[in-house]
Amino acid sequence: MKKKIWVILFSFFIYCTTISFAHTQTLGSENQAGDVWIEPVTGMEFVWVPGGCFMMGSYSGNLNEMPVHKVCLDGFWIGKYEVTQEQWTKVMGNNPSEFQNCGKGCPVESVSWFGCQMFIEKIGDGFSLPTEAQWEYAARSGGKNEIYSGGNDIEKVAWYSDNSGPTTHAVGTKAPNGLGIYDMSGNVWEWCQDWKGNYSFGEKDNPIGPLWGTYRVIRGGGWYSMPSWVRTTDRGRHEPEFSYLILGFRLVRQKIE
């Protein structure tokens, strides 16, 4: 009997939490670009990215950035910053990062794609890695024509090979992009949800990438990267089990209707 009462109370708690979160987002028609929501357990900040269409890819980059094609996305919340070592430790109880001497605010790194999924499972439903399309759209301040996330001045917006040290740096210490999102160029590469595949012509709505593959997409470049690798359209890849001191991540959460 006591167990049944506990289950009912716990279910009610989950219901109330879900309703509260849904209310925060579904005033959704009222959400404006750059609005911030704070996840209560870890303190992760999420920025609202309004839905829209953009031309994904580039004809001035690598071959795998072509063809440029139209993509349309629903609105979503994305991490204002890369997930930090402090946030990872709070959830996972350990810190896999190589660069642990740069403070709690540094991005967690040395995490695999599978490690990201374990983190997501622990913090609860509704979160995921960004799709590659979501990542690029957010990095480009809502699909704008930006070389780097926040503009064309790499020194202003990115930690990369020429200025990093070489090491990671506390998140949010460079300038944000037009939506108030930090470090989408440089600091650490960021895992995306998608398998790596070729682009194709034709309009796409909320694309999720290939159904299978060998490599997962990584984006944004890192502290050791040359300028061409921290461009908003550059595409990297790694096996999902791969972890190294160049790889971190940020999360997204879809709008709840």
DSSP 216-252: EEEES--TT--GGGGSTT--EEE-TT---TTEE---E
Predicted pLDDT of residue 19: 31
- Token representation of residue 82: 């890369």
- The ranges assigned to domains in the chain are 31-254
Measured distance CA(141)–CA(33) in Å, rounded: 10
31-254 fold: paralog of FGE (formylglycine-generating enzyme) (3.90.1580)
Residue whose pair of structure tokens reads 């037009």 in the numeric block: 178
Residues of the chain with confidence (pLDDT) below 50: 1-28, 256-257
Residue 4, burial from CB neighbour count under 10 angstroms (0-12, 13-18, 19+): exposed
Predicted pLDDT of residue 255: 64
**φ and ψ at 135, to 5 degrees?**
-60, -50
Q: Which DSSP state fits 63?
A: G
Q: What is the pLDDT of residues 168-200, one digit of tens each?
A: 999 999 999 999 999 999 999 999 999 999 999
Task: Specify whether the CB–CB gap between 34 and 80 falls below 8 A.
Answer: no
Q: Which helix (H) or strand (E) covers residue 155, if one does?
A: helix 154-157
Predicted pLDDT of residue 117: 98
The model's pTM is 0.88
Q: DSSP alpha helices (H): ranges in 1-103?
A: 2-26, 85-92
> Across the chain, which distance is largest between two alpha carbons, in Å?
67
Task: Specify whether the CB–CB gap between 82 and 184 falls below 8 A.
Answer: no
Q: Which pairs count as long-range contacts for 100-104, CB under 8 Å and 24+ apart, including other chains?
A: 102/167, 102/168, 102/169, 102/170, 103/170
